[in-house]
Amino acid sequence: DLWVVSDGGGRRQRIWDITNVGASWPTGALPPLVGQTNQISGIYAHSNWVSDDKRYLFSWDENNVIDISVHDITNPAAPIEINLFQYSENSQYNAIPHNGEVRAKYLYVAYYEAGLRVFDISNPYAPLEVGKAETYRDADGDGDYTRGISGSYDGAWNTYPFLPSGNILVSDMY
């Protein structure tokens, strides 16, 4: 069993072996470190999610340097960066991703001011945006953007795509 930790200002993801999580470790000791991603300059490694098949690690940068990174963790001792991407809107916008989850072949990302973004990750080397819900810019759903994107931490904060109904929850803050 593995535990993947976003290392914040350490600019990387660390992978720990928690197979013996019930073991009694000395006070202050951590489980064995299995591997870690390379540091990416300037990012804040905020959160991550592993694909259902446990092959790919998706990570979110809350400093908005790279947005989303994808690593092949088939060998967790040596993660390989395979992609960096962001949502598909005009690159002039500076929306920041916060949290996300993988369910089957889809990656659901709470993208603050850009709302919920959904990516088809069937090919993690080339994720494709396939859906969105404008929870911040068009909060009433009438098609008119009443707010812009400025790179703030307002808007979609988290998602939950695991309801038996198939419905997806999105929480906003502002």
pLDDT tens digits along 124-170: 999 999 999 999 999 898 999 999 888 889 999 999 999 999 999 99
pLDDT tens digits along 79-125: 999 999 988 776 666 889 999 999 999 999 999 999 999 999 999 99
Query: At residue 4, does pLDDT exceed 70?
Result: yes
Tally of residues, the chain: 174
| Model pLDDT, residue 174 | 75
Contact by Cβ (8 Å): 152, 79: no
Tokens of 136: 């911040």
Torsion on CA atoms 168, 148, 84, 78, rounded to nearest 10 = -60
Give the separation between CA 138 and CA 34, rounded to whole angstroms: 44
Phi-psi region of 67 (alpha: psi -120 to 50; beta: other; left: phi over 0): left
Q: Which residue has the tokens 């991703």?
A: 97
Residue 137, SS3 per DSSP: coil
Predicted model pTM: 0.92
Contact by Cβ (8 Å): 130, 118: yes
Q: What b/e string do you get for 60-73 counting C-beta neighbours within 10 Å, with b at 16 or more?
A: bbbebebbbbbbbb
Give the separation between CA 85 and CA 107, rounded to whole angstroms: 12
